[in-house]
Amino acid sequence: MKPCVIFDLDGTLVDSLPGIAASLNRALTAHGLPGHSNANVRSFVGDGLQMLIRRAVYLGADPALIKSLVTFFKKDYDLSWAEGTRAYPGIHSMLHELQLDGFQMAVLSNKTHEFTGTITRAVFPKIHFAQVLGQQDGIPHKPHPEGAFRIAAAMGDAPERCIVIGDSTMDLETAANADMQAIAVTWGYHDRDRLLAAGASRIAENPEELLKMLREEFQGSDSD
């Protein structure tokens, strides 16, 4: 088997920003708070739901308010996420080609585990991900390496043989903390300059380039 490839979800495989922003703004409006533009929400995502909500409200908000907003968001997003979530152009084809090439693939997200699984299955029904892991109790979220380590162990691969692919500095930090390789992508929520400043050494501009990079780097790396 070729090395395992651990994909981030939001901003890497799927553009979920419209759905996240819509549910967030409905939650804020229901609590008498001002909403945010998609551009602002783009800067809030990446660190899990709790942090998304905290960044969207005023500094020092009551914990009870945060809890109520989180509850509202979860219920709303559960019903509406499909309206604002889609695979980025070229992602389906790239994943299909990697699958044919024999790469082991996984998803590691700071989105809640339930939503991570639901969205991955719905958007990519013909793609086999050997492991899908989202944020859940008992597993620190990225950039802590625990989730990445669990995926590597479950897939029977050493961390140094795994590669993390994501659109954010958080994914780069996760790879570094887990002693894994990393490729950053530019079509998501963090700009190229921000990725470079975070130390990205390999950057893919589109899914086709990412597929080429993986094939070139890991050609002939099958283990018998």
User: What's the pLDDT tens digit per position in 173-196?
Assistant: 999 999 999 999 999 998 899 999
User: CA–CA distance from 69 to each of 24, 43, 212 (Å)?
Assistant: 8, 18, 42
H runs (alpha helix) in the chain: 17-30, 38-44, 49-56, 63-80, 91-101, 113-123, 146-154, 169-177, 192-197, 207-218
CB-based contact 163:6 (threshold 8 Å): yes
Q: Which one of 84, 116, 135 terminates a domain?
A: 84
d(Cα 66, Cα 31) in Å, to the nearest integer? 10
Mean pLDDT score across all residues of the chain: 93
User: Per the domain annotation, does 200 fall within a domain?
Assistant: yes
Do 108 and 47 fall into the same domain? no
Mean pLDDT, residues 7-27: 97
Do 157 and 186 fall into the same domain? yes
CATH number at residue 190: 3.40.50.1000
d(Cα 127, Cα 87) in Å, to the nearest integer? 13
Is a pLDDT exceeding 60 seen at residue 222? Answer: no
Domain span at 64: 17-84
pTM across the whole model: 0.90
Do 181 and 102 fall into the same domain? yes
Q: How many domains does the chain have?
A: 2
Do 96 and 80 fall into the same domain? no
- Residue 219's pLDDT is 65
Do 92 and 186 fall into the same domain? yes
Is a pLDDT exceeding 70 seen at residue 1? Answer: no
105 beta partners: 5
Secondary structure letter of residue 167 according to DSSP: S
Cβ-Cβ contacts under 8 Å for 71 (sequence gap 6 or more): none
- Residue 135's pLDDT is 92
Is a pLDDT exceeding 50 seen at residue 224? Answer: no
Band of pLDDT at residue 117, cut at 50, 70 and 90: very high
Long-range contacts of 153-157 (CB under 8 A, 24+ apart): 154/130, 155/4, 155/104, 155/106, 155/130, 155/131, 157/1, 157/3, 157/4, 157/104
Q: What is the pLDDT of residues 142-179, one digit of tens each?
A: 999 999 999 999 999 999 999 999 999 999 999 999 99
